Amino acid sequence: MISHFGTTATGHDIDSIRLHAGDLSVTILTLGAAIQDLRLAGIDHSLTLGSDHVADYEGGMRYHGSVIGPIVNRISTGRVAIDGMMYELERNFENRIHLHSGSRATHLRPWKIAESSHDRVTLTLHLPDGDCGLPGDRHIRVVYTVIAPGTLTMEITGKTDQPTLMNFANHAYWNLDGTPTWEGHTLRVAADRYLPTTPDFCPTGEIADVAGTDMDFREARSFAPGQPALDNNFCLSDGHVPMRDVLWLTGQSGTTLTMATDQPGMQLFDGRHPVGPRRTPYEGLAFEAQGWPDAPTHADFPSIRVTEELPYRQFTTFTFGRAI
């Protein structure tokens, strides 16, 4: 079902699309291709953090549930080289770092509905050559599908007519209990390495073992907000691999989330900053399947270069249930 959701400050009409199958219902926005609401039958709250107001998605909640690109996360130098050419990017963090593709990123734009049904929607976005500071006439597509009894699938594809960079992620925040913070949730991540960061949250270049550190989530465990502070990429692989389960989250209520992806990285963010009035720190956890951040700056990180012959693709699933 497609409904009018609101109007942006620049006058663009935004629609919501409600999908449902089995026990799961999901609402997607055309603004940022965002997951706005996700509900499992028998639970009286959304499992993802969202808002009923367009203005929130243009302000403090601009990342919530949205598809961020063409380059998610950080480029530490604010510039990238592609086939010997240097491209200057918007430096929108600390006046020197390129964060989440800046002010023209995909999460800030209205997407077009290409097709929809009760359980599936396809959204598209065109990025002309030079948009977001990068080369290539680019066509981006996101397909969300709800599969009974409780799975949401997300496929992101990107085509270009010349070599460019692409690294997309969905930036949904999750709180399975509907409580003021995520404290008490249990987390497991199938990663034996992670990327330490500088004080401004850029990878140092070190690829560190999780063993013996507070970043070790290979066995499911609960942890308190800030212990550890999380805004790091967990290294799932050294490149694209077949789909596999990589992350498990369980609330104190027994509600569960299992994520599977073909991506080599998973950015974990603890949601330490309140996003607006009446919102709290640590309200939700963000799990962002993506390529490793700042890859163009580090030769030993998996490449995010795409071409006409080798386009971009991500397939990620979110499966919800209840622990017995």
For 249-274, what is each residue's pLDDT tens digit?
999 999 999 999 999 999 999 999 98
CATH class held by domain 2-322: mainly beta
For 82-95, what is each residue's pLDDT tens digit?
999 999 999 999 99
Does 317 have pLDDT greater than 90? yes
pLDDT of residue 260: 99
Average pLDDT, integer, range 25-50:
98
Structure tokens at 182: 């995520």
For 127-170, what is each residue's pLDDT tens digit?
999 999 999 999 999 999 999 999 999 999 999 999 999 999 99
User: Do β-strands 265-269 and 231-235 pair in parallel, antiparallel, or remain unpaired?
Assistant: antiparallel
pLDDT of residue 324: 62
For residues 26 and 19, is the Cβ–Cβ distance under 8 A? yes
pLDDT of residue 99: 98
- How large a percentage of the chain has pLDDT more than 90? 97
For 293-305, what is each residue's pLDDT tens digit?
999 999 999 999 9
Q: Can you give the three-state secondary structure of 22-66, one letter per residue?
A: CCEEEEEECECCCEEEEEECCCCCCCECCCCCHHHHCCCCCCCCC
* Domain range list for the chain: 2-322
**What is the DSSP secondary-structure string of 243-285?**
-EEEEEEE-TTSEEEEEEES-SEEEEE---S--STT--TT--E
For residues 278 and 252, is the Cβ–Cβ distance under 8 A? no
Average pLDDT, integer, range 58-75:
98
Mean predicted lDDT score pLDDT of the chain: 97
pLDDT band at 42 (very low <50, low <70, confident <90, very high): very high
Does 221 have pLDDT greater than 80? yes
Closest CA to 125 of 153, 102, 157: 157
